[in-house]
Homo-oligomer: A and B are copies of this chain.
Amino acid sequence: MNNFIELSNEETNQLASSFEEVHVKKRQFIVQPGFTNMHRAFVIKGAFRAYVITNDGQDHTLQFAIENWWVSDFNSYIYQHPATLFIVALEDSTILQIEYNQEQELKKSNHKFETFFRIMAEKGLAFEHRRILFNLTNSAEARYENFLLNFPNFVNRVPQYALASYLGMTTEFLSRIRNKRVKKS
């Protein structure tokens, strides 16, 4: 957090006491459709996947999160209405979570915290802009190559079918792309 704003000791304590450490077992859900997402989570250990299941049973991944990433059903969280996403732990994990109302308090009480969350939202938005453009302009294979390049840490920690659904293709097709690559090299 000190990358974005500089905090006094007192502020650091205030912040720390707003977050709660929670342990989550593999395959456990921290968000489910129908329930409002009451917390924003920061991953300090482990990995998560945020995804939807459509009416016809298809599974699509919106986001992965490993150490030092935030994860939530952001629409559910900021509007405080029922979630549409599942968020599940891919490994035994530990998160720091802040409750919605506490976050509002923090932001209201101190300009610095407001700034922090503003910057975080802006960076998130810029990131998603890049993602949308990349998805519009590239083939399935190029999207995979790009993911390898930009997120090498994620690749070995997320199941292939989940990565495929994040990249907008089927697990079968991603399998073929991968095997083609292996043979090439």
- A→B interface (CB under 8 Å): 52, 54, 58, 60, 62, 74-75, 78-79, 84, 107, 111, 114-115, 117-118, 121-126, 128-133, 135-137, 165, 168
Contacts and interface: CB of A to CB of B under 8 A. Distances in A.
Nearest to A52: B133
Nearest to A114: B114
The 10 closest A-B pairs by CB, nearest first: A118-B118, A121-B121, A128-B128, A60-B136, A125-B125, A121-B122, A111-B111, A114-B114, A75-B126, A124-B125
* Number of this chain's copies in the complex: 2
Contacts of A78: 122-123, 126
Contact of A118 (B62, B75, B107, B135): B107
B79 A126 contact: yes
Given A75-B126, A114-B115, A132 B54 contact: no
Given A114-B114, A132-B132, A133-B52, A126 B60 contact: no
A104 B136 CA distance: 32
Given A54-B137, A137-B54, A129 B62 contact: yes
A60 B165 CA distance: 22
